[in-house]
Amino acid sequence: MEQCIYLGIDGCKFGWWAWSIEDGRLTGGLFSGLEALLSQYDQPIHCLIDMPIGFSDSESPDRQCDKAARRKLTKVKQSSIFPVPCRDAVYSDSYLQGCELNMKEVGKKFSKQTWGIVPKIRELDEHLRRAEVGYNDVIRESHPEVLFAQLAGKPLETNKRTSEGRDERIALLETLHPSLGKAVHQATNKTLRKHVMPDDIIDALVLCMASQSALHLTRLPDKADYDRYGNCREIVYPKSFSLPEIEQIVLMEEPFETQMP
């Protein structure tokens, strides 16, 4: 694969938390807008993001990638894979209207928890649809629990929001490189909980580590599945993780704001 910057991105209260790795430098930062985050790089990016790409529709009321991910995570963690609304619902003006449109398209409503991340689903979709998105950029959907299950060899039973769950996930990251735990602790100590939670920082880091394992990526489901708008509905993960080369950890001094959070 040509030289590029590897990114892992997760949504958070402020907007987005991202880790990138380039030439041995691991960089973490907080951004209010996805466009500002992704447009800062002057060379191709390879990005894994924990946000749906591709929508449910009448032909696939439950995306094939979500069903495959639930099977991989078993009953232990399958509830972490939520149903993705149809496109019209994502672009609706209210939760009630969104549920009505989703019921019409796929025969079911969706939760208020899902509605809470609809603005981020929309923000990502709008970015992907813009003509100026670089042809050499790669942005693919992944899921942290799928990645940690791959690292551990089984789905994790701990809750990622508990200290036990955080410690387990950090320990798994440290099997890839001992400095990754340090990176998490530095980032959590430097940021405000009202902006980003520790589990967001951890999730973005495992996404970044999977992204830099690009040559080993495979997908759920095995066969490519596209929605009617041409989006590939997939959840990618590496069959094996590449060990990163990390010489420096850098954290942005201030959150990058394009608008008020």
- pLDDT computed for residue 134 by the predictor: 56
**Domain annotation covers residue 177:** yes
Alpha-carbon distance of 146 to 237, in angstroms, equals: 7
**Domain annotation covers residue 152:** yes
Q: 63-110, pLDDT tens digit by residue?
A: 999 999 999 999 999 999 999 999 999 999 999 999 999 999 999 999
Alpha-carbon distance of 11 to 200, in angstroms, equals: 7
- pLDDT computed for residue 2 by the predictor: 63
**Domain annotation covers residue 260:** no
**Domain annotation covers residue 257:** no
Q: 21-31, pLDDT tens digit by residue?
A: 999 999 999 99
**Domain annotation covers residue 104:** yes
The model's confidence at residue 57, banded by pLDDT at 50, 70 and 90, is very high
Alpha-carbon distance of 33 to 30, in angstroms, equals: 9
Using DSSP bridges, classify how beta strands 5-11 and 16-22 pair: parallel, antiparallel or unpaired.
Answer: antiparallel
What's the DSSP call for residue 215? G
What pTM does this model have?
0.95
**For range 136-145, the mean pLDDT:** 94
- The whole-chain average pLDDT of the chain stands at 94
Domain that holds residue 94: 5-251
**Domain annotation covers residue 258:** no
**Number of domains within the chain:** 1
How many other β-carbons are positioned within 10 Å of the β-carbon of residue 140? 18
